[in-house]
Structure 1
Amino acid sequence: MSILEVKDVSIRYMTGDFKDIGLKEYVMRRIKGNYKVREFWADRHVTFTLEHGDMLGIIGTNGAGKSTLLKAVSGIMEPTEGTIHRQGTIAALLELASGFDGDLTVKENAYLRGAMLGYTRKFMNETYDQIIDFADLREFEERPFKQLSSGMKSRLAFSIASLVEPDILILDEVLSVGDGAFRKKSEKKMREIIEGGATTILVSHSLPQVRALCSKILWLHKGEQIAFGDDVQGICDRYQRFLDGKEKL
């Protein structure tokens, strides 16, 4: 049985003017039938399956629905239509800067994030040095977290999450953080996780990264599924032609 089955999934957002007008005006407009609600479909009819050890690359321009789909797959939100069946444990890195406290030190935040991921204090004590060294933050460990660059924060988040041995690992633009040396380290770590049998989903704007790492690929555009399959090179070539304006959808 597949470890992940996404079948005909659509995700809708409802938008209105409630936050702009306040509760009293909202009630009055509802009574008068003058309250406008708009629908926005972030994803429409997305279908794919993954087996143990697959690495899926999700590509698409901004606004394609990639991050919204990941939230549904990880269980953060439910699809409006369709079904998602998962097997085993899931670890997701979606918003890397979330879950940290800017006033705490880097070391304190490492323990905080570890606790949020369900790691025990004993586990964190045993692996802290590995975490901080992998993230290249040894000289910053006693500094307030808010002093770090966004790349440094992402490196710490990735380093902590990479200690997990999940059945499904979800990464949203994680491997694009940091300098070239860290990207090589993170890609090497990803290969170790994949070779360990984890099924991985990676959202990336780096086609070379997708070409090098992924065994399957999903192309989304404005919420619509354009292509899915194991012809990673072929679909990447087609997507590049689209980006270059040489192919229309």
Structure 2
Amino acid sequence: MTDALSGAPAIATDGLGIRFRRNRRGRRSFKDLFGDSSRRSRPNEFWALRDVSIQVQPGEAIGVVGRNGQGKSTLLKLVAGVMLPDTGTVTVNGGVAPLIEITGGFVDDLTVRDNVYLTAGLHGMSRREVAERFDEIIGFAEIGDFVDTPYKHLSSGMRVRVAFAVVSQLDEPILLVDEVLAVGDKAFREKCYRRIEELLAAGRTMFFVSHNERDLRRFCTRGLFLDGGKLVLDAPIDEVLDAYNAKYGT
């Protein structure tokens, strides 16, 4: 692990910020969209994240803590490149396996088989690589005879199982996990958690967003406490959880 933690950080942000509109009324001018990027919020805008600066070394497992709406998922989406910041920078050294809105990108009318090839391909796996891992993916998902069933006919739990089975097969060094297993049954969640532990043992870097304190302590050694879109504490995970509980209760 010492070698894995040397060199450039896996993820670095400097003054990272992003703002959103509270409603759709009115129009943004050309200057709003492409000109002035000052940090002064307009009346109908709010900062989801503001002035967040962190460094994550390869092999670290980071738990992201905060109430709903405090910027946790937004931070992961910025790291994943799904969103672009309004201020500051985010640098990611290595590919990302995103377990964020995990079933997004799957096509309802395609079969499970076709969705596995499509989704894995979109994440950079060749058709040959998918074919070599296909049986393992389907076996992990535990969907039995439903492999040639349209994806839209699967239950929500089955959809999550297929999606996790695909994304967890990616060889990317950075894993982003955002409460995606909350709808899975207990036995499958534990199976997924064992898979995450295997990935961490192999030296993967992980951002883990969860409201489950037990899971955060299980996987993470370091925590980020986001409050009001700002990073209020970057410390060992136990210290971060204690600070969160002291402010908002358990």
Q: d(CA) in 2 for partners of 1:37 and 1:157?
A: 40
> Which of 219, 232, 239 in structure 2 is aligned with 1:234?
239
8 Å Cα contact 1:17-1:37 kept in structure 2: no
Q: C-alpha displacement at 1:199, in angstroms?
A: 0.8
Q: Specify every segment of 5 or more residues in structure 2 that has no aligned partner in the other structure, as ranges.
A: 1-7, 30-41
Amino acid in structure 2 at the alignment position of 1:104: L
Query: Who is 1:202 aligned against?
Result: 208
Q: C-alpha displacement at 1:176, in angstroms?
A: 2.9
Q: C-alpha displacement at 1:37, in angstroms?
A: 7.0
Corresponding position: 1:103 with 2:79: no
Tell me the TM-score normalized by structure 1: 0.85
Q: d(CA) in 1 for partners of 2:127 and 2:222?
A: 37
Matches within 5 A, 1:55-204: 55-204=61-210
Query: Who is 1:17 aligned against?
Result: 25
> Which of 11, 14, 37 in structure 2 is aligned with 1:7?
14
8 Å Cα contact 1:16-1:37 kept in structure 2: no
Matched residue SS, 1:189: helix
Q: d(CA) in 2 for partners of 1:211 and 1:61?
A: 17
Query: Who is 2:58 aligned against?
Result: 52
Q: d(CA) in 2 for partners of 1:198 and 1:54?
A: 8
Tell me the TM-score normalized by structure 2: 0.85
1:40-86 CA distances to partner (integer Å, 9 max, x unpaired)?
21111112111110011111111011111111111222211112122
8 Å Cα contact 1:53-1:199 kept in structure 2: yes
Q: d(CA) in 1 for partners of 2:156 and 2:184?
A: 9
Q: C-alpha displacement at 1:134, in angstroms?
A: 0.7
Query: Who is 1:243 aligned against?
Result: 248
Q: Specify every segment of 5 or more residues in structure 1 that has no aligned partner in the other structure, as ranges.
A: 20-25, 27-35
8 Å Cα contact 2:111-2:151 kept in structure 1: yes
Q: d(CA) in 2 for partners of 1:5 and 1:213?
A: 21
Q: d(CA) in 1 for partners of 2:26 and 2:156?
A: 33
Of all paired residues, the percent bearing the same amino acid is 37
Q: C-alpha displacement at 1:175, in angstroms?
A: 3.6
Q: C-alpha displacement at 1:18, in angstroms?
A: 4.9
8 Å Cα contact 2:97-2:168 kept in structure 1: no
1:151-199 CA distances to partner (integer Å, 9 max, x unpaired)?
2212211110111121211121124341111111111111111111111
1:102-151 CA distances to partner (integer Å, 9 max, x unpaired)?
11222221122112112111111111111111111123222221122222
8 Å Cα contact 2:101-2:180 kept in structure 1: no
Number of matched pairs: 229
Which one has the largest radius of gyration?
Answer: 1
